Structure 1
Amino acid sequence: MWGCDYIPYASGWGGWIPMVFWLLILGGIALLAFKTLCGKSRNGNQDADRNDSLAILKTRLARGDINMDDYNTLKSVL
């Protein structure tokens, strides 16, 4: 009939430009959500974890929970 087959953005340049735009926007949002939910990698926190463990070990030695031999053994494991 009179223009009933006209669908905006369905042909020519107008068909794929908005689709690519929205795919990039949604892909960026998905990447941001993934990075936020996963947090830092394990390698990024490894030094901080070792320092925390060493501080706990020193505290246990100072309290007398472990002796110097145990301290050295556990420190070598870290």
Structure 2
Amino acid sequence: MWGCTYNGAGLGHWLFGGGIFGFGLTALIVIIIAALVLKIAKAPHHKKNENLDTLDSLMILKNRFAKGEITEQEYQKMKQTLSV
């Protein structure tokens, strides 16, 4: 009205820049962020803990067998149970 026009600077007109290229850049950034969030949310954190627990249990079993606390038959049976 008074010679002032909006030129699309800042986060206004199509967010990062003007026109379809600005919109495309914005959409690309949003998609990348969403994909990273989903990847982090679906990360198999519990599987790593299960593997560590099994390895710790096998190590304890080996130590018990080495100390003579259990027989070889007991050792094999327990090892097979833990490996399943």
Q: TM-score, normalised by structure 2?
A: 0.48
Higher RCO (CA 8 Å, separation ≥ 6 residues): 1
Give 1 or 2: higher helix fraction.
1
Q: TM-score, normalised by structure 1?
A: 0.50
